[in-house]
Each structure stands twice: as structure tokens, then as C-alpha cells.
Structure 1
Amino acid sequence: MKVVGYLRVSTIEQAEHGFGLDSQRAAVRAAATAGGHRVVAWCSDEGISGAKPAADRPGLTDALEMIRDGKAQGIVVRDLDRLAREITVQEAVLAAVWQTADAVVLTSSGPVQPDDPDDPMRRVLRLMVGVFADLERSMIAKRLRDGRRAKKAKGGWAAGREPYGFASVPPKERAADNLHGALVPVADQQAALDRILDLHTHGASLRSIAAALTEEGHPTSGGGRCQPTTVARIIARNTTAA
């Protein structure tokens, strides 16, 4: 059977896991092979929340259209939470797939059985699994928020990745007056930051600013070569803050 592989990673997951799509792709391939199916197309939504409906996810919309048009007879995902993070969205997507006769939904745990009026427990059990998964995600999110609030209350940096030009000192390297990890300036990045803002003030383009930084040996916070998109983010953050 021909199936379409669907991959999704949210903005937060991209930041925390980096190559989430690659691991999903491997799991999808394995699930398709185990079921004797062939992946004929890949559709993905990068940086999009699973709480959004299919209409707001171009990749998922394309996958569903392939099934409706007969180009694929099912969809394969690593887990159901790749389809949706909300129960109502999950059920709407499953219903859209099952509108096509004999269409299948596969996960790394096996096929998702379509609803059967003679076996109502199928749907109930699926909903229960989704509810408890949602509860677990909510509890994890709450613990993270509580931790960030506590750290912020003590003067530490708790707003995600540090802005360019600053760093949160690792616990073992913190001085007595910075035990909770408040941001400290990074000398070489501060020099680059001043250079970026100066060039921007004088009307230089993003591309020319990036080229100047590379030529002058100013690295990004990750040590790589500066790109126009990186320059744009730095300028936006600092001009907004100003």
C-alpha cells in the first residue's frame, strides 16, 4: 500500500532537539516497512504547533489531499502527537483520513484502528491515551514554568537562549555575586554587537553587515559564520529593546 509520511516539529522542539525530523523520518520508515507499505511522499510542518488544525498546517493539508486524491492510501506518523497535540484536532484529522474508504493511519506502535460502532471501546481507549498524554505534557510544562519563575525571582536568566552579546555563566563558574546565573557580557560578542548596530545605523544592508563581520573575524554565538538572517534577528532584538 502507498502511504505518505508526515513529520512535524514545533518551534520549541526544534530549539531543544535540533534534528527531531530526522528521528521521526527513521521511525516512519520503520513503521511503513513493518506494515508492508511504501512511503511515496513526505510532508512536513516545521516550527508549527500540534494544537493547530490541519487547515493551518500546509504539510498536513498536503498529506490529507494526497489521500483524498488517491495518490496515497494512508498516512504514517511516529506517534499520534505528531498529528495533533489536542484531542479535538487529533480526532478531526483521523476522521478526515478515514473518510477515504480503506485509508490507514500508522504509527511506530502499529496501526490506529478506525472507529467501529460495534466496538465503542476502540475510540474510548484512544481518547484516554490522548488525555493522559496531554496531562503529562501539561505537568511538564508547568514544572518548567515554575522553575523559570523561581530562577527569575532570584535574578537568574530564565527566558530561553541568551541574547547575542551575553551569556549565562555555568553554575561551577559563578562568582559569589552571581550565584543564580544572571547574564554577563561576552567581550568579543559585545564588540561584534556594537559593529552590527553601527553599520545598521549607517544604512548598511543585512548582507553587507554579515560579510563585514565575517571578514573582520566576528563569529556567531555558536562560533559559525554570520548570516544575514542572524544579523536581522540581532538587530530586531536590540532595536526593540531600545
Structure 2
Amino acid sequence: MQVIAYYRVSTKSQGESGLGLEAQRDYVQTAAAQQGWDVVAEYVESGVSGSIHPLERPEGAKAFAHGLPVVVAKLDRLSRDVEHIAGMMKRTTFRVATMPKADTLQLHLFAMLAEQERTFISQRTKDALASLQARADAGNADAIASVNNRTEALAKGRTEANRKKGNAVVAANAQALAESVSDALVACMHRQGARTLQAVADCLNQRGIATARGSKWAPTSVKRVMDRLSLAFPE
């Protein structure tokens, strides 16, 4: 039987370092050898939370799109959410390497246990943070330092996420501008014979076309747009 292997690591660092990934591969390869499965493709989900539905994850959607049974190392690599697992059993076919012969009832049971474990982990984390904050409020120097370090780390993470989001917006706006002036730029080169960056800039300025900032075109701004559109001067 042909199958698709799907692996998930919760953090990007785990995905880059291979932490947990090789163990998952070992589980799947061992089960495949024992069950006579032929793994024809592999998909690795990195930095995506298990709380997201498997079919809404980029690599998860690709894995199940094949229409073949999808194999995961352990059930929690697919999801710890009982509703997710129940829905997946109705809509798709999947196998779990650590319990390849599990029936529907057993899968439901393990899904319930996985969800309970997730709830316990979340509560333990909340309790630990509350205890840490209480010690910091009481003046414990180590606790205060830990709280400050965590706050700084979270702030740095949010700043990095915002920076990436901002870069994506800037790139999208730049692409939109480039596409909006592409016809005029091509016309300057082919109809009016502009053969230098300065000539193209002069042509666009004469046409009354402004840059994204509302300023006049310069050779550097023309080059950026041409590079973005993969345009070159006619030979």
C-alpha cells in the first residue's frame, strides 16, 4: 500500500535542528517495513501549532491532497484536538506508526488522552508563570530577573514578527507599483527608444507618472522596478 508520510515539529528551531524529526521518521520507516507500506512522499510541517486543523496547515493540506493514506509517527503529530481527529477519520484515511492496527474506538481514546495532556501542559505553564510572578511581586531577585527576561524575549519575538509582516507589506506594495507602471515603462523602451535608466526615468517623468512616494523617477528607482519585473533593455 502506498502511503504519504507527514511529520510535524511545533517550533521552527526544532525543524531546523532536526530535533524530534528523525525520531518521527524512524517510527514511520519501522512501521512501513513491518506493515508493507510504500512511503512515496514526505511532508514536514515546521513551526505550526497542533491547534491548527491538519487540513489548514500548508504541508498537511499537501499531504492529504494525494488521496492516499497519510502516516504520522504519533497521533499528536496530527492533532491533540478530539474534534480534529474525529473529523479527519470521517473525511480522510490516516495511519499512526506507533499503533498501525488501531481501530476507530482506540483512535478516539488516544485523541482524548492527547487533548487532556495538552490541557494539563497549558495549565501547568499558567500555574508556573503565576507562581513566578507572585515571587517577583514579593521581591525575589531571581524571580524578578526571570520575569524581565521573559518579557524581553516576548517583546523581541513580537518585534520580529511585526518586522516580517511589515517587510511583506512593503514587498507587496512595491510589486503592485511595479505592475501598475509596467506598461508605461515598456512603452518608454520600445516606442520611445529609451535605452538607459536615465532615459526611462525622463520618459516616465514626462508622462506625469510619479513613484510610490509621489516623487520623480531616478535611474535607481527605475532599476528596482525593472529588476522586480525581470525586464531588460532591448538588444
Q: TM-score range by the shorter chain?
A: 0.5 to 0.7
For the 8 Å contact 2:136–2:147, the answer to whether it is kept is no
In the other structure, the counterpart of 1:52 is 52
Report the Cα offset of residue 183 of structure 1: 5.2
CA RMSD of aligned residues (A): 3.5
Verify: 1:39 aligned to 2:20, yes or no: no
In the other structure, the counterpart of 2:89 is 94
- 2: CA distance between counterparts of 1:105 and 1:25? 14
Verify: 1:82 aligned to 2:77, yes or no: yes
Fraction of identical pairs, as percent: 27
For the 8 Å contact 2:53–2:84, the answer to whether it is kept is yes
In the other structure, the counterpart of 2:223 is none
Q: Please list every run of 5 or more consecutive structure 1 residues that lacks an aligned counterpart in the other structure.
A: 68-72, 99-103, 114-121, 157-175, 187-229, 237-242
In the other structure, the counterpart of 1:65 is 65
Question: 1:58–1:178: structure 2 CA closer, same or farther, 3 Å change rule?
Answer: same
What is the one-letter code of the residue matched to 2:71? V
In the other structure, the counterpart of 2:224 is none
Q: What aligned pairs does 1:160-179 form with structure 2 within 5 A after superposition?
A: 178-179=141-142
Report the Cα offset of residue 182 of structure 1: 0.7
- 1: CA distance between counterparts of 2:147 and 2:60? 43
Alignment partner of 2:145 out of 158, 182, 201? 182
In the other structure, the counterpart of 1:111 is 101
Q: Could you list the per-position Cα deviations for residues 133-177 of structure 1 after superposition, in whole angstroms to 9, with x for gaps in the alignment?
A: 211221122112101111122229xxxxxxxxxxxxxxxxxxx97
Q: What aligned pairs does 1:128-167 form with structure 2 within 5 A after superposition?
A: 128-155=109-136
- 2: CA distance between counterparts of 1:23 and 1:47? 17
Q: Please list every run of 5 or more consecutive structure 2 residues that lacks an aligned counterpart in the other structure.
A: 150-156, 164-235
Q: What aligned pairs does 1:190-209 form with structure 2 within 5 A after superposition?
A: none
Question: 1:109–1:150: structure 2 CA closer, same or farther, 3 Å change rule?
Answer: same
Report the Cα offset of residue 178 of structure 1: 2.2
Report the Cα offset of residue 42 of structure 1: 0.3
- 2: CA distance between counterparts of 1:13 and 1:144? 20
Report the Cα offset of residue 185 of structure 1: 10
For the 8 Å contact 1:2–1:37, the answer to whether it is kept is yes
Local SS of the residue matching 2:5: strand
Local SS of the residue matching 1:233: helix
For the 8 Å contact 2:2–2:39, the answer to whether it is kept is yes
Report the Cα offset of residue 57 of structure 1: 0.7
Rg larger for: 2
- 1: CA distance between counterparts of 2:52 and 2:161? 29
In the other structure, the counterpart of 2:228 is none
- 1: CA distance between counterparts of 2:133 and 2:18? 26
Report the Cα offset of residue 77 of structure 1: 0.7
In the other structure, the counterpart of 1:159 is none
Local SS of the residue matching 1:52: coil
